[in-house]
Amino acid sequence: MTGYILKRLLSAIPVLLGISVIVFLIMALIPGDPATAILGSYATPENVEKLNRDLGLDKSLVQQYFIWLGNMLTGDFGTSFALNRPVLDEVLERFNATLVLAGVAFLVCAVLGVAAGVVSAANQYGLADKAITFAVLLGISIPSFFLGMMMILFFAVNLRWFPVSGMWPIYGDRTLGVLLSHLAMPATALAVVATGVIARLSRSAMLEVLRQDFIRTARAKGVHERGVIWRHALKAAMVAIIPVLGIQAGFVLSGAVYIEMVFQWPGVGRMLVDAILKRDLLLVQGGVVFVAACYVLFNIAVDVAQSLLDPRIKT
């Protein structure tokens, strides 16, 4: 097992190097440079050239790439042009906020999604199945940013139950309750689509398992129906559900971009959008590499978890 994990970790290195080259090239190739973005109307060729020199952007692309890569390997991600602070500080702080948001949203969609799928499958074509299928279809069809805005209008502007935006209040203590009141709307809006997807796939995974012989055997030996569904069938279906959860976790993380914009959540998605618009090269590059590394590690963790659960997968 250790050897398998090690092998997977080693194979991540070329992936990350590739990502670093791609993100560097994309930022180098898209039109517009940081100096023009900073100077705006005052971007004369002369001013741009001087600022590029000050920013260290007058070197060749190859030189710039290796300087950046070398610094990054020693833990120095550079300083953001637009925010004037170390890229790593900003990325870590923002990633933390995204993890809180995406983590809670993922928890919600995993629990609700699997539960809905199981209930649906257990009552195939019954009333509960139809109601859940309808709700799921509705959830999958609503764009999350639209749902987020409607929630703001209804629950924050009109009912004033929740704050409109942000992660913490401007004044007052930073308690868990306060955080949850700020989290309620964005986490819900973020979880809705993924809940629907997980529910659908859990339902079909369960249906497949329920048709198998060992379920009939369990029923025949007198196991209570609830035990059949939740203990025997769900455990077997989890093998198919866990990769779905892994994919949806990635989806929740990337979907956080829209939600962070709408709810002004200080997360890494909003950071990247702002940084791209301002051509904040180092922040975009460092941010993308960091997020990509997290994805890769997460995928490895999912594969390892699956191989532990399913003895059929050889490590």
Partner 1 sequence: MSLFYATRRGLLAAGTALALTLGASGGALAQTPPGVLIVGQIAEPKALDPAAVTAVNDFRILMNVYDGLVRYKDGTLEVEPALATDWDISEDGTVYTFSLREGVSFHDGTPFNAEAVKFNFDRMLSEDHPFHDTGPFPLSFFFSSVVSTEVVDEMTVQFTLNGPYAPFLSNLAYPTGLIVSPAAVAEHGAEFGRNPSGTGPFTFAEWRSNEAVVIEANPDYWDGAPELQAVVFRPITDANTRTAEMLAGGIDLMVEVPPVALSEFQGDAYTLHEQAGPHVWFLILNAKEGPFADVRVRQAANYAVNKEALVNEVLEGTAEVAAGPTPPAFAWAYNPDLEPYPFDPDKARALLAEAGAEGAELTFYVTEGGSGMLDPIAMGTAIQADLEAVGFDVTIETYEWNTFLGEVNPGLEGKADMAEMAWMTNDPDTLPFLALRTEAWPDKGGFNSGYYSNPEVDALLEAARVATDQDERARLYREMQTIVQEDAPWVFVANWKQNAVTSDRVEGFALQPSFFLLLDEVVKN
Task: Give the N- to C-terminal CA distance of the chain in Å, as an integer.
Answer: 6
Rounded-to-integer distance, Cα 237 and Cα 214, Å: 13
CA nearest 194: which of 262, 256, 120?
A: 256
Is residue 82 a contact residue for partner 1 (CB under 8 A)?
yes
For 224-261, the three-class secondary structure string (H helix, E strand, C coil) is CHHHHHHHHHHHHHHHHHHHHHHHHHHHHHHHHHHHHH
Residue 305 tokens, joined? 């978890």
232 Ramachandran zone, left/alpha/beta (phi>0; psi -120 to 50): alpha
- Contacts with partner 1, 91-130, as mask; x by CB under 8 A: --xx------------------------------------
CB of 40 to partner 1, least distance (A): 5
Which of 212-251 are b and which e, b meaning 16 or more Cβ less than 10 Å from the residue's Cβ?
eeebeebeeeeeeeeebbeebbbebbbbbbbebbbbbbbb
* Contact assessment for residue 255 and residue 268, using Cβ atoms and an 8 Å cutoff: no
- Residue 125 or 171: the one with the smaller Cβ distance to partner 1 is 171
Q: Which of 124, 175, 217, 264 binds partner 1 (CB under 8 A)?
A: 264
- Residue 140 or 178: the one with the smaller Cβ distance to partner 1 is 178
Q: Which of 1, 10, 29, 46 binds partner 1 (CB under 8 A)?
A: 46
CB of 180 to partner 1, least distance (A): 14
Q: Pick out residues in 15-44 that bind partner 1 (CB under 8 A).
A: 31-33, 35-44
Rounded-to-integer distance, Cα 114 and Cα 241, Å: 8
Is residue 160 a contact residue for partner 1 (CB under 8 A)?
yes
Q: Which of 26, 61, 157, 180 binds partner 1 (CB under 8 A)?
A: 157
- Contacts with partner 1, 216-255, as mask; x by CB under 8 A: ----------------------------------------
Rounded-to-integer distance, Cα 215 and Cα 233, Å: 7
Number of residues that bind partner 1 (CB under 8 A): 56
CB of 211 to partner 1, least distance (A): 43
Task: Return residues touching partner 1 (CB under 8 A).
Answer: 31-33, 35-47, 51, 54-55, 82-85, 90, 93-94, 146, 149-150, 152-154, 156-168, 170-171, 261-264, 266, 270-271, 274, 279
